[in-house]
Amino acid sequence: MDDVAQTPNAATPGDAQNFWSELDPPQWIAARAAMRARRVARGETLIERGAAADTLYVVNFGLFEVRGADGRALAEIGANELIGEIGFFAGERRTASVVAVRDSEALAIRRAEFEALCERAPEVRRAVARSLAQRLARLAPVAHRLEPPRLGGAMRIVTLVGAGAPAPPLTGFVQALRASLAKFGRTGALAAGDAPPDAALADHHAFASWLGGFERAHDIVICVADESLTDWTRAALRSADQILLVAAGAASPPGEVEALAHSIVPPERRRLALTHDPAGASESASAWLRGREVVMTHHVAGQDASDFDRLASAYGRIASLGSQMTNRICLGHARPPWPLDAKSVAIARPRRHGDGEEGQRLVAERAELKGCSERDG
């Protein structure tokens, strides 16, 4: 469904990946007026590989994944970033497909409208060209096989889910994590009590738009799932870029909420936080990982602030690896809809039993993180 774009999405100066940061207010107002908003449901394809590249997009809210001919993810594109600018300017057909990771919205402008806009606001063309140059610079190492594509840096919504049945209470975990995340930027937490009216929960696009306002207002935004399958829990899972499973005590099979999380969110977007009781015996990670496929495992001892600091730093360290993508977790109450300075997501401890290309990549990134930590003191 297409709608006329409305609210301008301002940016903080120096946000290298934010298209709007290149424009003055009169210019981005003119650009927004020329664009139409396109709703893209979770799993829906925005761009088909091989299609004509006659439309340029800017992500208004949500997250998209670029997929190659084999269906594998090549890159992620988040809020305020351009989609399709390479083919648009090259005049060639699309070389990859772009699919919504969650319910999203993209602002679209066709070629004729773009040319007319640039006549009125020439800086728009220069802003797109700069964004294109930055995209090509980021893709060059991947194209030359100097490094694998980095995924996970653009993730903005992380939903916390209690692992096992019965699931552990999350209140203390959320409070401790929030305190550590505050060291990296503005944080807050969304739980069922903060949800919009039931009508908005049932309307996937309305909920995604509401949640998009939190993304623009926080450096780090966490959605906390209920212990049962409520409307809020379903909406939070559907909107998650990533799931953080929180486990405690003896390993147990997934409950209904965790099972739904596994069915909605793929393994590469699931992580496990295993909490340990410092005063007693702790269940091994292998027991919890039996029957659960996650991309990484974090270990937290009780309410140990240093462990939570390390967990929180996993969401900010990717900047040290050269990524400039944005990450947020969903917490707090509404604030003015302007994004803050980017805080990026980091790679935490990979599971020890990770095999194949993905496992090798995680091990390599862990080694690189360790080097960054040692250099940073």
Q: Please check whether residue 349 is in contact with residue 366, taking contact to mean a CB–CB distance below 8 angstroms.
A: yes
pLDDT tens-digit map of 111-139 = 999 999 999 998 898 888 887 777 777 66
Q: Please check whether residue 73 is in contact with residue 149, taking contact to mean a CB–CB distance below 8 angstroms.
A: yes
pLDDT confidence of residue 358: 41
Kindly report the CATH class assigned to 2-143: mainly beta
pLDDT tens-digit map of 71-106 = 888 888 988 899 998 888 888 899 899 999 999 999
pLDDT confidence of residue 15: 47
> For the residues 27-40, what does the mean pLDDT come to?
93
How many Å apart are CA 270 and CA 262, to the nearest integer? 8
Q: Please check whether residue 351 is in contact with residue 233, taking contact to mean a CB–CB distance below 8 angstroms.
A: no
Residue ranges covered by each domain of the chain: 2-143, 158-376
- Angle (CA) 255-258-259 rounded to 5° is 80
Higher per-residue confidence, 195 vs 6: 195
pLDDT confidence of residue 130: 83
186 pLDDT exceeds 90?
A: no
Task: Provide the token pair at 231.
Answer: 């409307």
How many Å apart are CA 119 and CA 45, to the nearest integer? 31
Q: Please check whether residue 233 is in contact with residue 132, taking contact to mean a CB–CB distance below 8 angstroms.
A: no
Edge to edge, the sheet with strand 97-100 lists 45-47, 97-100, 64-67, 73-77
Q: Where are the beta strands (DSSP E) in the chain?
A: 2-4, 36-40, 45-47, 55-61, 64-67, 73-77, 82-83, 97-100, 104-110, 158-162, 223-224, 242-248, 270-276, 296-301
Burial (CB < 10 A; 0-12, 13-18, 19+), residue 73, is middle
Task: Provide the token pair at 120.
Answer: 């009125």
Per DSSP, 105 falls in state E
Task: Give residues with Cβ within 8 angstroms of 60, minimum separation 6.
Answer: 5, 9, 37, 79, 104, 105, 106, 107, 212
Confidence of residue 17 (pLDDT cuts 50, 70, 90): low
Task: Provide the token pair at 70.
Answer: 């084999």
pLDDT tens-digit map of 225-280 = 999 999 999 999 999 988 999 999 899 999 999 999 999 999 989 999 999 877 66
DSSP string, 13-78: TT-TT-GGGGS-HHHHHHHHHH-EEEEE-TT-EEE-TTS---EEEEEEES-EEEE-TTS-EEEEE-
Task: Provide the token pair at 150.
Answer: 């980095």
CATH architecture of 158-376: 3-Layer(aba) Sandwich (3.40)
Confidence of residue 284 (pLDDT cuts 50, 70, 90): confident
How many Å apart are CA 342 and CA 12, to the nearest integer? 9
Task: Give residues with Cβ within 8 angstroms of 317, minimum separation 6.
Answer: 344, 346, 347, 369, 372
Task: Give residues with Cβ within 8 angstroms of 255, minimum separation 6.
Answer: 162, 164, 165, 166, 167, 227
